[in-house]
Structure 1
Amino acid sequence: MKIKSIVLLAAGVAAVGAVAVRAATSDIEQPDYRVVSSEGDFEIREYEPMIVAQATVVGERRKAMNDGFRIIADYIFGNNLSSQEVAMTAPVTQQASEKIAMTSPVTQQASGTGTENSWQVRFVMPSEYTMDTLPKPKNMAVTLLEVPAKRVAAIRYSGNAQQSDVDKHREKLMAFLSAEKLTAANDPTYAFYDAPWTPGFMRRNEVMVEIES
């Protein structure tokens, strides 16, 4: 009986912790979009223009994500010319960029799974800022970019975003595009909305791809 009580208490503490994590992140700004259509876990969305801070990192996907996150987090936490903190937003996104060729300076589009891939890791900047009002980065690895309005197809899933999960949902999204006769405008983007300590079942992860209008 005593063991059962301890188990129930531990479960209760875990549940409270999970709720606290969600509450702590619920006020984080996310980019505006309009859902054009939805089907199960799939959505077609229209995003407003936005500004992003970007770092380009070479390496295996998850390590590149962590390295890129640290570079941009350093910028928004005050390592900029104004020593000004910028509020965290969600999601953090990652997209394959270019692969560095082993025997030639020529580059080609990456598939998104190799160890030599180049990844664009991005934080969306809070909507209150413009390119003129955002603090300028000290680190040349951080670039501020204006992203125009776009239409994307997205699939949402939970979990810890293991590579197998990312691959599976990317394949599902591409199959959805094929079935709907939609054309991808670029490589898929991986979006992660939650803090690392968020329980996997509460996480919001997405694979998104811009589609041609």
Structure 2
Amino acid sequence: MAKSSLKNTVIILLLIITIACSTKLCKAIESPQYRVVHSESDFEIRHYRESVWMAAPAYEISFHKATRDGFHRLFQFIQGANLNFSRIYMTKPVLTSIVPGAGPLHSSAYFVKFYLPDKFQADPPLPLPELNLQPDRWTSRCIAVRKFTGFARDSNIVKEAEKLALSLSRSPWANSTAATSEYAYSIAQYNSPFRIIGRVNEVWVDVAGTGASDCETNPIAAY
């Protein structure tokens, strides 16, 4: 499929999602399941259950370009470019994970990820080889999350990640960022690009622990 045709198809899909989200249909869009174990004014600690995502590696210097490139390939996958010819419903968020120092001239590399609906969690459809996609199987994990509004861009994601890092440095999780994580942090985007007001984005950082009780560094404050 030509790039211009694919781009137009993606725009149409996102427009459909935007219209759906103005009705009760938006509530049916699946997301990975989690439990909030601690909450502060500017961040929270969540425990995410085991899950399977489909990941698209993107070796770009720009976060924006990497997310666009990865999403285009994931879009083809959910539209049937898999060995099962399965059509897969859109989920949220679209997650872009940043791998520091892995790209050319020590720039960042990225993995753009799509959460698979419950129907496909146990047996994910295999993507066509030319899409260069791979399943990403998550064990249960603890994640520190900071919300921010507006559009996620190259100009603001680093600042938002720094704010989360500062908040964690002043909390019981100061030394709890997961040393084994291969990603510096991830950006979760919940809205289509056609939504201007009330946008929701998040910075995600893995913190040490796999069980819900492991996330509760300060159990008295957790709920």
- TM-score range with shorter-chain normalisation? 0.7 to 0.9
Work out the CA distance in 2 between the residues paired with 1:101 and 1:87: 35
1:25–1:139: structure 2 CA closer, same or farther, 3 Å change rule? farther
In the alignment, does 2:75 pair up with 1:73?
yes
Unaligned runs of 5+ in 2: 1-17, 210-223
* Structure that is richer in strand per residue: 1
TM-score (norm 2): 0.75
2:102 counterpart SS class: strand
Matches within 5 A, 1:87-98: 87-97=89-99, 98=101
2:114 counterpart SS class: strand
Which position in structure 2 is the counterpart of 1:13? none
1:136 counterpart SS class: coil
CA deviations on 1:49-74 (whole Å, 9 max, x unpaired) are: 00000010011111000000001111
In the alignment, does 2:198 pair up with 1:202?
yes
| Identity, % of aligned positions | 30
Which position in structure 1 is the counterpart of 2:155? 164
TM-score (norm 1): 0.79
Aligned residues: 182
Deviation at 1:19, TM superposition (A): 8.3
In the alignment, does 2:184 pair up with 1:193?
no
Work out the CA distance in 2 between the residues paired with 1:156 and 1:22: 22
Work out the CA distance in 2 between the residues paired with 1:153 and 1:166: 15
1:122–1:20: structure 2 CA closer, same or farther, 3 Å change rule? closer
Work out the CA distance in 2 between the residues paired with 1:130 and 1:21: 24
Work out the CA distance in 2 between the residues paired with 1:49 and 1:88: 19
Work out the CA distance in 2 between the residues paired with 1:99 and 1:88: 29
Measured on the aligned residues, the alpha-carbon RMSD in Å equals 1.9
Is 1:91–1:123's contact at 8 Å kept on the other side of the alignment?
yes
Deviation at 1:127, TM superposition (A): 1.8
Larger radius of gyration: 1
In the alignment, does 2:40 pair up with 1:39?
yes
Which position in structure 1 is the counterpart of 2:177? 184
